[in-house]
Amino acid sequence: MILRPYPRTHSLLQSYDYLGAKCRIVTIFSMIADGTSALNVQNMPLMAESVVADLMLLGQENKDPVKILINSPGGSVAAGLLIINAIEHLQAEGIDVETVVISQSLSMATPILTTGTKGKRYAFHRSVIHGHRGHGGADGSVDDIMGQIKYTEYLFDQLHEILAKKTKIPEYHLSHGDTPMPEILETLQRLEKSENKDDKTRYLKLRMKYAKEFFNKENFLTAKQAQEAGIIDEVLEPGNPYLNEIFKLSEVKQ
């Protein structure tokens, strides 16, 4: 939560509360959940909604970049997409959203990470970036189960489209998978250059297919590997000037 402390009392607040106000930082340091999540919702009420409110508040203040620091085990896909909606809104308003993994970006945290503004997605050098096959469950009548399955497939299609459009995961998978497929990689490169509408549709579908295939098993990437896969743009080694820039204090413009 972003707080606006008085100078004499800010020391009573947690450090990241203060940094949220003075450095335009929003943190994702827990399980990703929203008010509809059944998973541990009593301990994390409105987590995603609070992140959205923080992003919108900072977006209203001025057009300076907003930074999201991530150290999360992942969580609800729907809650993660809620946060992604807010990030994309700020970007549409001309506000850069810088995403920074400070330790771990697991499961649903990774699509949030990669939704950051291109060129401004970072990870500390010892970070771990992870993705895996989506999980879900369904119960009730056959019709109920089929409806839940369709909804779950819709959510995961959203994730695969984000990863297909914003990363190089398909290329990374086709080059580094258990069975490298250079011929498919060449097909992607050809379709990318085509101006034909059908080719563009096929291009996106192929990218989504191989992004999904890459995450059919547990994948733990180092920061360097994540950079190669286009999930992040830069690895922050100790001494990188941007590490100081993250926490640079700025006056709130009223």
Q: Known catalytic residue: 132?
A: yes
Alpha carbon distance 239, 75 (integer Å) = 32
Element (H, E) at 158: helix 142-166
Q: Considering the candidates 72, 76, 105, 107, report the single residue annotated as catalytic.
A: 107
Q: Considering the candidates 30, 89, 132, 175, report the single residue annotated as catalytic.
A: 132
Q: How far is CA 204 from CA 22, 103, 162, 175, in A?
A: 40, 31, 11, 18
Q: Are strands 219-222 and 128-131 parallel, antiparallel or unpaired?
A: antiparallel
* Residues 143, 144, 147: CA angle, nearest 5 degrees: 85
Q: Known catalytic residue: 107?
A: yes
Residue 209's nearest CA partner among 178, 174, 179 is 174
Question: Phi and psi for 110 in degrees, rounded to 5?
Answer: -70, -45
Residues 33 and 76: beta-carbon distance below 8 Å = yes
Place of tokens 């990363």: 167
Q: What secondary structure letter does DSSP report for 3? A: -
Which residues are known to be catalytic? 107, 132
